[in-house]
Chain A
Amino acid sequence: MRAVCWEGKYDVRVETVPDPEILNPRDAIIQVTSTAICGSDLHLYDGYMPTMEKGDILGHEFMGHVVDVGSAITNLRIGDRVLVPFTIACGRCFFCLRGLWSACDNSNPNWQVAESLLGHSPSGLFGYSHMMGGYAGGQAEYVRVPFADVGAHKIPENLPDEKVLFLTDIFPTGYMAAENCNIQRGDTVAVWGCGPVGQFAIKSAYLLGAGRVIAIDDNEDRLSMAAQEGKAETLNFGDQDIFDKLKFMTGGIGPDSCIDAVGLEAHGTSIDALYDRAKAALYMATDRPHALRQAITACRKGGTVSVPGVYGAFLDKFPFGVAFQKGLTFKMGQTHVHKYIQPLLELIELGQIDPSFVITHRLSLEDAADGYQTFKQQADHCIKVIMKPGMPSARSNGNGNGRAH
């Protein structure tokens, strides 16, 4: 089959690799109909995530049809149309039983590696480094899905891929970020990062009762999507001091909650951002937590900082004293996708949200390398790339552009 392989920093290639096989009784094999490049894939693309190996198959947002099942699978049949959460979870351990699916105790075969770095092992993830299980990802024609009885969610045929694909990661991730803010009616929520997760966090914050959402980024395309689609007030951090502006906008109080939808590769223009960049370049720190620092500093006393953005291991110059003195609450972590799919699917079916609004690029899987590059550079107004295996390559027909419109 054809699959998108990580071959090093800024180097992904579509390669011909063996088809996946059933390895365990609770496995299923999915033939992928749609897959997407996630913002967190860029952390791999940029070489920020440790324990990647050349040849690893990328991708953790995918859906398709069941083509084979293991001997223990009774609730799926060949031909079923399914969505697969990016977190792999057994459904039966202490954590899964409490709805903490991304903390599953059993799904990471490399739990020892994760424990040695983090103390405890999170769940396995598709296509997201060997520390997170080393599972082959879904930017491929076929994927093996472990624990498919709980990890492959059947969806009705009448909803097109584009409307439901993002239930595998970014929609639940944005939604959980907003839910973690414990929003009270009329609250002000500030969102750093207007990539796809930020866009869903903005919409979800309103769905959960926020009175006002302020979106922060320096990319005008993303800010205008946040304003038009998300109905957010927008701030470009390139133009102004975000802390002062937020304080002014909230009459000195600060936002009730702050969402860091940026994660470990924050850009920025202030002194601490430059310092982070220098340190990460010298491998003295893994993460550049500029947005997170700003969120902590701006958040109102007793407020909540919610972090859907991915962090790798160690932060430097973390303003913990600020957080302490203001009595902040922190909520964070990989999304417990399994528990959000059904309720969010219902919101889509009710027409309350159509997640396809974030899509700017539709490509053939064969053009993945271009997709990564465009997404990385935020070129061509790129916000979200989806890819389809089997779709003719834009390169081969001389078009060279997978732009949606």
Chain B
Amino acid sequence: MDTWEVTFEDHNRQSAGNGNTNNSRVNVGRIERVASAVGGGALVGYALTNRTKTGIALGLLGAGLLYRGTTGQCEAYRSLGINTAKDEPSEDVARDVHIEKSVTISSTPKELFRIWRDFENLPRFMEDLESVTKLDETRSHWVANAPGGKRVEWDAEIYNEKENEMIAWRSLPGADVTNAGSVHFEESPGHGTYVKVVLNYNPPGGKAASLLAKLFGKEPGQLVENNLRRLKQLVETCEIPTTEGQPSGRQQETDAAGERKQNKLASKTPVGNLARAAREGAA
């Protein structure tokens, strides 16, 4: 319960624009930590190949820096009362990836709010979500498919909502992917409802992983856009248009076995039966 409240605090400060630290022993800032780790590593490496007195001295210094870099703790800073990490958000705040997308849907804010507020509806149009299970009025358990076939899970809570206007949620501590999101519904006269989604998350593997994903064409913004379009399709047309499973001349090429694929299909499907019946009737 304690940690839960700490996260709550952090989140508020973060969204107010002055991020704060947790009360851990970390007192070295992020950039400084990376520099320390890299510099320290280099010095240790140097010491391992040059076992002279200077080399060993530098190696010891390097080991200190390496410790400082990897743990984020510095005894010298502590005794001097310096903390360069205090203005940085804690690990439990979603901040690495920020996405904003919108869509206009021919429906009312009230109806769309109702659909979204029941989080168990979300997997119907969010392709990457496997399931969302309601735990109580504000908390839910989410299971999603991450890139590379990995399954990620988290608990989330609704921490802010305004009926028919907006819902804001965020993951609780212990999430595989720390994330927070909000959806906003605004009537757009003559057009339906303007729906905006804001999503923040820390991808597994950090920023580097999300950059890599972008390089390979898996832009997370695209996924959100896709999901919003699917919501629109579902709400407006009651289905998601597809061509998956339709015939083409490509199917016969893959049928090397000799038996025509359409014959198998025809015997199984009502269409095939109807079609055959119609043909026989005509003959």
Which A residues lie within 8 Å of B245 (CB)? Answer: 21, 23
A112 touches B239 (CB 8 A): no
A92 touches B236 (CB 8 A): yes
Which A residues lie within 8 Å of B244 (CB)? Answer: 23
| Interface residues as binary, A359-377 with B (CB distance below 8 Å gives 1, 0 otherwise) | 0000000000000000000
Q: Which of A24, A57, A68 contacts B242 (CB 8 A)?
A: A24
A72 touches B238 (CB 8 A): yes
Shortest distance in angstroms between B114's beta carbon and chain A's nearest beta carbon?
A: 18
A26 touches B250 (CB 8 A): no
Q: How far is the CA of A19 from the CA of B269 in the complex (A)?
A: 9
Most chain-B CB neighbours within 10 Å: which of A20, A57, A133?
A20
- Chain A residue with the shortest CB-CB distance to B250: A55
Residues in B262-276 with C-beta less than 8 Å from chain A? 262, 265-266, 269-272, 274-275
Residues in B215-254 with C-beta less than 8 Å from chain A? 222, 226, 229, 232-233, 236-253
A16 touches B260 (CB 8 A): yes
Which of A138-146, A208-216, A304-312 contacts the other chain? Answer: A138-146
Which A residues lie within 8 Å of B249 (CB)? Answer: 3, 5-7, 13, 15, 17, 54-57
A26 touches B247 (CB 8 A): no
Main secondary structure of the interface of B (DSSP, over half): helix
Taking the complex as formed, is B257 at the interface, i.e. its CB lies under 8 A from any CB of chain A?
no
Which A residues lie within 8 Å of B274 (CB)? Answer: 29, 67-68, 78
Q: Tell me how many residues of A have a C-beta within 8 Å of chain B.
A: 55
Which A residues lie within 8 Å of B270 (CB)? Answer: 68
Q: How far is the CA of A91 from the CA of B239 in the complex (A)?
A: 13
Q: Which of B226, B229, B243, B265 contacts A18 (CB 8 A)?
A: B265
Asked, given contacts A1-B247, A56-B249, A57-B247, whether A109 binds B237 with beta carbons under 8 Å apart, the answer is no
A25 touches B239 (CB 8 A): yes
B229 touches A111 (CB 8 A): yes
Taking the complex as formed, is B278 at the interface, i.e. its CB lies under 8 A from any CB of chain A?
yes
Shortest distance in angstroms between B275's beta carbon and chain A's nearest beta carbon?
A: 6
Which A residues lie within 8 Å of B242 (CB)? Answer: 23-24, 109
Q: Which of B237, B252, B262 contacts A19 (CB 8 A)?
A: B262
Most chain-B CB neighbours within 10 Å: which of A53, A105, A107, A136?
A105
B250 touches A53 (CB 8 A): yes
B239 touches A136 (CB 8 A): no
Which A residues lie within 8 Å of B278 (CB)? Answer: 31, 65, 67
A109 touches B243 (CB 8 A): yes
Taking the complex as formed, is B214 at the interface, i.e. its CB lies under 8 A from any CB of chain A?
no
Asked, given contacts A56-B248, A56-B249, whether A18 binds B261 with beta carbons under 8 Å apart, the answer is yes
A112 touches B226 (CB 8 A): yes
Taking the complex as formed, is B104 at the interface, i.e. its CB lies under 8 A from any CB of chain A?
yes
A3 touches B247 (CB 8 A): yes
A21 touches B265 (CB 8 A): yes
Which B residues lie within 8 Å of A146 (CB)? Answer: 241
Which B residues lie within 8 Å of A133 (CB)? Answer: 241, 243
Taking the complex as formed, is A106 at the interface, i.e. its CB lies under 8 A from any CB of chain B?
yes
- Chain A residue with the shortest CB-CB distance to B268: A21
Taking the complex as formed, is B192 at the interface, i.e. its CB lies under 8 A from any CB of chain A?
yes
A141 touches B275 (CB 8 A): yes
Which B residues lie within 8 Å of A1 (CB)? Answer: 247, 262, 275
Taking the complex as formed, is B106 at the interface, i.e. its CB lies under 8 A from any CB of chain A?
yes
Can you report 20 A-B residue pairs in the complex whose CB atoms are below 8 A from each other?
A3-B247, A6-B249, A15-B252, A17-B247, A17-B249, A18-B247, A19-B269, A54-B250, A57-B247, A65-B278, A67-B274, A90-B236, A94-B192, A106-B236, A106-B241, A108-B241, A133-B241, A136-B246, A141-B275, A146-B241
18 more contacts with CB within 8 A, not counting A68-B274, A78-B274, A90-B236, are A3-B249, A7-B249, A16-B262, A17-B249, A18-B251, A19-B275, A20-B271, A21-B246, A21-B269, A68-B270, A90-B237, A93-B232, A93-B236, A94-B106, A107-B241, A112-B226, A142-B271, A144-B246
Q: Which residue numbers of B lie inside 8 Å of A, CB to CB?
A: 104, 106, 191-192, 222, 226, 229, 232-233, 236-253, 260-262, 265-266, 269-272, 274-275, 278, 282
